[in-house]
Amino acid sequence: MKQISTTFAMGLLTLFLSNQAFASDAGHTSEAMEHAGQALAHGEDGHAKKLTLHAEKSLHHVKAAEKAHAEAHEHLSEAIKHIEESIKHGKMGHADVGAKHMEEAMGHIRESGH
């Protein structure tokens, strides 16, 4: 019973953390699009200074979104390694070592935000 409640709690925590990560990533993407659209409009109107201002803001948000995806990728790669180790140790009958690797994997999955 303890295992079921722990699994349920971990699932809820993972869901909560992943929703926060998706929201921040979507925020950068939508901000980048908004500023890109404003830059385009000002460029078409011949306003070079305003085009530059909004293009710089768009670039900032695009870079932030790109960085978030790169960090998520690194964490998921680490999670895969720990899950594979957990499987390996589970097949050898080392449940305690397998559990430790799964704990590490879950931490990396949470950190990935995806």
Return the residue matching tokens 């019973």. 1
In this prediction the pTM is 0.54
Q: Report the alpha-carbon angle 90-111-69, nearest 5.
A: 115
Q: What is the pLDDT of residue 29?
A: 81
Looking at per-residue pLDDT, the higher value among 17 and 74 belongs to 74
Distance, in Å, from the CA atom of 51 to the CA atom of 61, rounded to the nearest integer, reads: 16
DSSP label at residue 73: H
pLDDT, tens digit (0-9, with 9 covering 90-100), for 7-49: 544 554 454 444 444 445 568 888 989 989 998 988 999 999 9
Percent of the chain, pLDDT > 90? 36
Contact 113, 25 (CB under 8 A): yes
Q: What is the pLDDT of residue 13?
A: 47
Q: Report the alpha-carbon angle 18-20-22, nearest 5.
A: 70
